[in-house]
Amino acid sequence: MATTSTSTGDIKKTKSVEVKKKLNVLIVDDDTVIRKLHENIIKSIGGISQTAKNGEEAVNIHRDGNASFDLILMDKEMPERDGLSATKKLREMKVTSMIIGVTTLADNEEERKAFMEAGLNHCLAKPLSKAKILPLINNLMDA
Amino acid sequence: MQRQVALIKQSLFDQGYLDEQFIELEELQDDANPNFVEEVATLYFKDSARLISNIEQALERGSFDFNRLDNYMHQFKGSSTSIGASKVKTECTMFREYCRVGNAEGWQDRRGPRRLHVGPSNTGTDQ
């Protein structure tokens, strides 16, 4: 668990940078490096994760109706089934997990908007980091 | 030895081969994941070698399948961005632009007669 500390006189306060409860996360990305990075980010904030190599795998994981993720990190461009299509399909399947789309800086506003309209809760640009994702997760969890 | 490694690392930052994303990776390394940076770097080199081999094979076929090349470059750019391999990321952006406009000459000029290489002794395309 990473912590930051501030001291006020003799009192030392330690601010936890973990999420407030244990998250169960599905990481959907066709890149092995990015999957490993995101796995570690989730682990570093106290969550647990499962991975899928593309949108089709992500949909298949949910087909039996037993999957229960708090959060899905969904890459946009993937083979077999891309993030937009996978998000639409998951919402059609009544999946209520929070879905954060992961885009690149090259994606334009229209592309991001189309991705959001597919059923995302939020969108973040790669590369993800603990600093980017933690406040968002905590805000979404509080909502 | 550690000082040598630190100097090499600083040199990679100074020359623009690495960017702040690499520091993000280092900050994710802790007692629970003591080899995280090495594991990610190893994955990156392995993946990069595969992508470069695919690209070289696609180019050796003679005809430019820009969609396929762009797909490979997209993947390469994504993982390079995530590890902080800044120069490689920039090169990938350039090659993707050539794919977008169908510029086969640009590809050949930029690549030249050398073969692409990414490995522990290099962190970008051969210069």
pLDDT at A107: 75
Q: Is the pTM of this model over 0.80?
A: no
Which of B27, B47, B82 is opposite residue A126, by nearest beta carbon? Answer: B82
Which own/partner contact pairs does B22-26 have at CB distance under 8 Å and 24+ positions apart? B22/B83, B22/B84, B23/B84, B24/A127, B24/A129, B24/A130, B24/B84, B25/A37, B25/B83, B25/B84
What's the pLDDT score for residue B55?
87
CB pair distance less than 8 Å for B33 and A36: no
Q: Mind listing the pLDDT tens digit for each residue in B97-122?
A: 888 888 777 766 766 655 555 555 44
Which segment of A9-18, A28-37, A87-96, B58-67 scores lowest on mean pLDDT? A9-18
Please determine, for residue A137, whether its predicted confidence score (pLDDT) is greater than 50. yes
CB contact under 8 A, A40 and B47: no
Predicted confidence at residue A135, as pLDDT, reads 83
Looking at per-residue pLDDT, the higher value among B108 and B60 belongs to: B60
Q: How far apart are the CA of A31 and the nearest CA of chain B, in angstroms?
A: 7
Identify residues of B whose CB sits under 8 angstroms from chain A CBs. Answer: 21, 24-25, 27-28, 30, 32-33, 36, 39-40, 43-44, 47, 71, 74-75, 77-79, 81-83, 93, 96
Mean pLDDT of the B67-84 span: 89
- Dihedral through CA B38, CA B44, CA B45, CA B51, nearest 10? 170
Q: Which of A43-47, A71-75, A139-143 has the lowest mean pLDDT?
A: A139-143
User: Minimal Cα distance from A46: which residue of B?
Assistant: B32
Judged against a pLDDT cut of 90, whether residue B64 lies above it is answered with: no
* pLDDT-above-90 percentage for chain B: 39
**The pair of three-digit structure tokens given for residue A42, joined into one six-digit string:** 């989730």
Tens digits of residue pLDDT in A65-119 = 888 999 999 999 998 999 999 999 999 999 999 999 998 876 788 889 999 999 9
Asked if B25 and A36 come within 8 Å (Cβ–Cβ), the reply is no
Distance, in angstroms, between B118 CA and closest chain A CA? 15
Asked if the Cβ–Cβ distance from B24 to A129 is below 8 Å, we say: yes
Percent of chain A whose pLDDT exceeds 70? 82
Between the two ends of chain B, the Cα-to-Cα distance in Å is: 27
**What is the rounded average pLDDT for all residues in chain B?**
83
Q: Do residue B24 and residue A127 have CB atoms under 8 angstroms apart?
A: yes
Model confidence pLDDT, tens digit, residues A116-129:
999 999 999 888 88
Among B28, B47, B78, select the one facing A40 at the smallest CB separation.
B28
- Phi first, then psi, for residue A99 (nearest 5°) are -120, 120
In this complex, do A36 and B75 lie within 8 Å of one another by their Cβ atoms? Answer: no
Nearest CA in chain A to B45: A33
What rounded mean pLDDT belongs to chain A? Answer: 83
Contact B45, B120 (CB under 8 A): yes
pLDDT at A20 over 80: no
Q: What is the mean pLDDT of residues B39-61?
A: 90
Q: Are B64 and B6 in contact (CB under 8 A)?
A: no
pLDDT over 80 (residue B127): no
Pairwise CB contact (< 8 Å): A31 & B82: yes
Please check the confidence at residue B24 and state whether its pLDDT lies above 80: yes
**Cβ within 8 Å, pair A77-B74:** yes
Q: Tell which wins on pLDDT, A37 or B106.
A: A37
How near does any CA of chain B get to the CA of A41, in Å?
7
Q: Look up the ipTM and state it.
A: 0.72
A34 and B32: CB-CB below 8 Å? no
The predicted structure's pLDDT at residue A92: 97
| CA atoms in the 13 A half-sphere facing the CB of B72 | 21
